[in-house]
Structure 1
Amino acid sequence: MDGAPRVSLGVPLYNAERYLESCLDALLAQDYQDFEIIVSDNASTDRTWEICQRYAAVDPRFRLFRNPRNFGGHVNYARVAELARGELFKWVAYDDVCLPTFLSTCVEALDAAGSQAVLAYPRTVLIDEAGTVIGPYADRLNLRDHRPWRRVAGVALNINLCHAHFGVFRLSALRRTGMIRPFLSSDYTLVAEVARLGEIHEVDRPLFLRRMHGASSRQAKDATPASALSWYAQDSGKVRAPRQRMLLETFRTLLSGDDPFGTRISSACAFLGAWWARRVRVFLGRWRRRLSRRSRTSTAKGNA
């Protein structure tokens, strides 16, 4: 292609043949067409590379790269961002689907917001492995406060399945982060780091279909942390306190960087404070429900 595209789509892959064609077809069906598709295959052993070559043969916007071995998912995610040439960037997971106005809507949101916004993402709809709609999912990461610590606190209070990092970034901002790191839930750390750098805008349109299925590394990460280490191409040894490590790494990350010291310390403290406030809120909610169940049981026995 002559000149750089406005948007780079990074597609890190490993043994993705089951859903890959649906994913790529959805990208090619976007009504915003000024993009490149950067594929980095992590030495897949199925038909992934063959499928990518077939698409690249008919569309020059594809740029294909193949690793000599599996370097781990976090390395592959970083590689597609490093290879990007656009002003804007989006990671693409092989098993998710972007509806046709995904890119145009997010690009329009960033253009309208100006440079203070560094990430725009649409609302999410969960689908199952067959593509049947499960239902909408509320990400609640529409973080537009002008104060970095308030945005970071919003991440700690609301983040869960973490779909925002599949939105559209300003690439210059993304490259100031550590991206996806080699520990569980590092996407939480990334989104907190992005929130410190600028506003995150949620577009009020359900344009992202996130697929829930057992073979997904993301579902494996949430369900069984030890088995998820294979995503990082490491030995699946004992995982010690993965959530505590995420908290420590996020605190360290928010303390570092080239932002003013006051911004860094307030953001780091805001994340930890909001996170533990959230945990206390969850604990109290469970405690109240437990007491309520006991009260109803006692009442039922007394009426028997």
Structure 2
Amino acid sequence: MTDDKPLVSIGMPVYNAEKYIRQALDSLVAQDYENFELIISDNASTDRTQEICLEYAARDKRIRYYRNETNLGAVKNFNRVFELSRGKYFMWASHDDLWDATYVRKCVDVLEHDPSLVLCCTSLRFIEESGSFLDIPYDNYDNPDMSSLNVRERMHILASRHGWYAIYGLVRSDVLRKTSLFRTSYGADVILLMELCLIGPFFKVPEVLFYYRQYHTKTEKDRASSIDPAGHCKPSYSNLSRELVRTVLISNLHPFTKILVALELVSIYFRSSAWRTRLGVPSLHSLRARLRGRTRLKRVIEAPRRVLGLLRDVYVEWSPRKAKQGLKCALIEYNYYHGEILPMLVYVLNALGISVDVYVSRRVMHNDPFIYCTGLNCTLRETDGLFFKQWVERRQFRDYDFLVLNSLEPKEILQQVSGIPIPIIAIIHNGSLIKNDPDYARFFTAPIRAPLVLAEHISRFLSDTLIARWVWPAQTLDQVKAQRQGKICFCVQGNMEFDRRNYDSLLDDVEQLTSSNVRNFHVMIIGRNDTKEGLIFKKQVRNRKLDSFFTFSKGEVPYKDYYDSIASAHFILPLIDTTRSEYRPYFFEKGSTSLCIALSLGIVPIIHKQLACIYGIEDQSITYEDNGLAHALEQALSTNEQALERMRGALVSRKEYLLKKSVLNMKETLKDVGINASFTSP
């Protein structure tokens, strides 16, 4: 490779490709433009594909071969080669196609000369399995010239074509990253080309430099096989038309331009006899024939419904009603264990002038995380897994300008929301989810989706993967009244799990204090402790005769009791240090709920020094290093009330700063996904 020319990435997804892959690889290796990388992603082939690819990779260092352990499906494999690419420009290459030796060079020259161009392709010819040319009218199938600066003209050309082979052209990688790549819906290549053409113009080199292989079982002459004997197209065509309209409506075009382009797209489909046939819209002659039989009347009636469905897509997206009412979003808690985050999200959205419908499970609604949060503009609605699935399928999200998902776990949620065509902001509770799972990282490559994390250090952790702004999950719990009395209370909140908190250290250090005759304290455990690990810990407390120094909550604690109990504590203990690898995520990719509660209620945390530094609360905390918790507990017991009040006040100030910063970050994230309304000033 050379450094004086931009790097080109060529992605070749393959599966059982032994018959033609040598020809394709020879054609690419012979390109007179040498500064490229060829990425091959083998989708668990069972023939000699792997052997052939490794042979070529050994001969040419520009070839990188990857093999999937299991077959991911064609769509994911196509997207994977792009995700593995590093070049300024990218092109997909099929294992059975051929290219002229000048193909890459001439496409690069065009894109380098004109930065406004998004994609460059060339004229093409079809070849049969034997390699001979197909004799067909290429005017209908050759790549069109879409270099017009008028987006409506480009869309008109693309929508009027029968063949969409420009998808194998050379594309700017930074532009491709703004799209949703290939989707799992019918016509994914057409939808992706529509996304690209809405961003910018294509250029066609007027030379035959690309040779697309056709098979006897599927040629351009066989497209009629998609239409049933009665003249109706299979449902996939009408679904494709809807997806293309939605693609226009969720693009970053000016709102007025969106309406014009969408309406023109609808009109193209119903002016074209080919698309009328594909969508099941009958001609006058066929109408007369079908009206002769009552059994065919239903199909005739369905045609207007299809037209109205497409027009409804335009109306729902751009109804004047939305502009008058202001922005509205749906905040969805699919699970039941992140309810404490919801009030903060509503607060931040309300601060920007956005009204919110909150969907939660019956369990969360019963525990009521909003019990102490007044003045919020939101409506609480009950949902569950089945309701959420039906809600998505029935497109009820159309009532909202965007969605906020409080988690994307389990993966079933990711699969259900991937097809939603309106902006989505997803709260990521664990940064490693995006770091380690390509499906989650790929989800956020779409320009209408963005992640939000729950601490600044998680944002830094993901900075080399994607941009993830942060919000701080502190609560505005002003109505909770602290009732501290009696012995000093150390609070440990959260379900009892040994891989989340260092309970062994707590037990040892409490025993150390009592052996030194320090007894003016007790430890309050708030959270589920009737688990196996909880029972083990309670047994250890009894065996060490420390029962009088520990109290445990019972069962699942409603949020009112949860906040009231913690507010009665003098100190809060996250119990996170660096002595075990299980605690490491809290220093990099996860947030601490204990610290969120500490700032929300103004309770002084006793915290590991490194963690205090990460959260910027060194002066508002009592800190310790590994194996130093006992000394920190003694320091807390000896700190006077005046000093503690100063620390509590500083925690409240810190909370107010973090909430203001959270509002600003939410505002920028909304802009990232295309919500450019006039927000209320935070």
TM-score, normalising length: structure 1: 0.81
1:246/1:18 CA distance change after superposition, 3 Å:
same
Could you say if the C-alpha distance between residues 172 and 262 of structure 1 is closer, same or farther in structure 2, counting changes exceeding 3 Å? farther
Structure 1: which amino acid aligns with 2:119?
L
1:228-263 per-residue CA deviation (whole Å, 9 max, x = no partner) reads xxxxxxxxxxx9601001111111112113333234
Structure 1 residues 46 and 140, CA gap change in structure 2 (3 angstroms)? closer
Deviates further, 76-85 or 128-137:
128-137
Match of 1:248 among 242, 246, 263: 242
Query: Is 2:119 the partner of 1:116?
Result: no
Matched, 1:95 2:96: yes
1:22-57 residue CA offsets vs partner (Å, 9 max, x unmatched): 000000011111100011111111111111111111
Q: For residue 31 of structure 1, give the secondary structure of its aligned residue in structure 2.
A: coil
Contact 2:145 2:203 in 1 (8 A): yes
1:274 aligns with 268
- Deviation of the 1:287 alpha carbon: 8.0
The answer as to whether partners of 2:100 and 2:210 remain within 8 angstroms in 1 is yes
Identity %: 33
Q: Is the 8 A contact 1:127 1:135 kept in 2?
A: no
**Does 2:146 match 1:143?**
yes
Q: Taking structure 1 as reference, are residues 208 and 242 closer, same or farther at Cα in structure 2, changes over 3 Å only?
A: same
Give the aligned partner of residue 60 of structure 2. 59
Deviations 1:112-143 (A, max 9, x none): 3x122101111011111010112473325211
Q: Do the aligned residues in 2 keep the contact of 1:184 with 1:221 (CA within 8 Å)? A: no
Map residues 52-201 of structure 1 onto 2, 5 A cutoff: 52-112=53-113, 114-135=114-135, 137-138=138-139, 139-158=142-161, 160-201=162-203
Name the aligned partner's letter for residue 188 of structure 1.
Answer: V
Higher relative contact order (CA 8 A, sep 6+): 1
Change (3 A) 1:32 1:2: closer
Q: CA deviation at 1:181?
A: 1.6
* CA apart distance, 1:2: 8.5
Q: Deviations over 1:49-77 (max 9, x none)?
A: 11111111111111111111111111111
The count of aligned residue pairs is 273
> Is the partner of 1:117 in helix, strand or coil?
coil
How many angstroms apart in 2 are the aligned matches of 1:215 and 1:82?
A: 32
Structural mapping, 1:200-211, within 5 Å: 200-211=202-213
- Trace 1:224-239 onto structure 2 (pairs within 5 A): none
CA distance in 2, matches of 1:21, 1:281: 38
- Deviations 1:187-223 (Å, cap 9, x if unpaired)? 111112111111111110001111111477x879957
1:122 is aligned with what amino acid?
Answer: T
Query: Cα distance 1:281–1:10, how it changes in 2: closer, same or farther (>3 A)?
Result: closer
Counterpart of 2:30?
29
Mapped to 2, the partners of 1:31 and 1:200 lie a distance apart of 23
Q: CA RMSD in A?
A: 3.0
1:34-45 aligned at under 5 Å gives the runs 34-45=35-46
**Moved segments of 4+, more than 6 Å:** 1-4, 218-221, 280-283
Q: Distance in 1 between matches of 2:223 and 2:188?
A: 12
Instruction: Give, in whole Å, the separation in 2 of the partners of 1:67 and 1:165.
Output: 24
Q: Using a 3 Å threshold, how does the CA distance of structure 1 residues 111 and 276 change in structure 2: closer, same or farther?
A: farther
Residue identity in the other structure for 2:90: F
Does the 8 Å CA contact 2:41/2:68 hold for their aligned counterparts?
yes
Residue 233 of structure 1: aligned partner: none
SS at match of 1:36: strand
Tell whether the 8 Å contact from 1:125 to 1:135 is kept in structure 2 after alignment. no
- C-alpha change, 1:220 and 1:45, in structure 2 (3 Å) is farther
Structure 1: gaps spanning 5 or more residues: 226-238, 291-304
Larger radius of gyration: 2
> Is the deviation greater in 138-147 or in 62-71?
138-147
SS in 1 for 2:208: strand
- In the aligned structure 1, how far is the partner of 2:155 from the partner of 2:61? 39
Contact 2:6 2:35 in 1 (8 A): yes
* Distance (whole Å) between structure 2 residues aligned to residue 242 and residue 149 of structure 1: 25
One-letter amino acid matched to 2:172? R
Q: For 2:155 and 2:193, how far apart are their aligned partners in 1?
A: 8
Instruction: Say if 1:221 and 1:76 are closer, same or farther in 2 by CA, change over 3 A.
Output: farther
Which letter does structure 2 place at the counterpart of 1:198? G
Quick check: 1:214–1:220 contact (8 Å CA) kept in 2? no
Contact 2:143–2:164 (CA under 8 A) maintained in structure 1: no
After superposition, the Cα gap between the structure-2 partners of 1:177 and 1:163, relative to the gap in structure 1 and judged at 3 Å, is: same
Does the Cα contact within 8 Å between 2:43 and 2:68 map onto a contact in 1? yes
Q: C-alpha displacement at 1:278, in angstroms?
A: 2.2
- Shift of the 121–57 alpha-carbon distance from structure 1 to 2, 3 Å rule, reads same
Distance 1:16 1:280, change over 3 A: closer
Structure 1 residues 125 and 27: CA distance shift in structure 2, 3 A: same
Structure 2 unaligned regions, length at least 5: 227-232, 287-682
Partner of 1:265 in structure 2? 259
Which AA in structure 2 matches 1:116?
S
TM-score with structure 2 setting the length: 0.37
CA displacement, residues 255-279 of structure 1 (integer Å, 9 cap, x when unaligned):
1133332343333333222232223
Q: Is the 8 A contact 1:127 1:211 kept in 2?
A: yes
Q: Secondary structure of 1:190's match? A: helix
The aligned counterpart of 1:213 is 215
Distance 1:31 1:178, change over 3 A: same
**Deviation at residue 9 of structure 1 after TM alignment:** 0.1
**Residues 22 and 280 (structure 1), Cα distance of their counterparts in 2 relative to 1, 3 Å cut:** closer
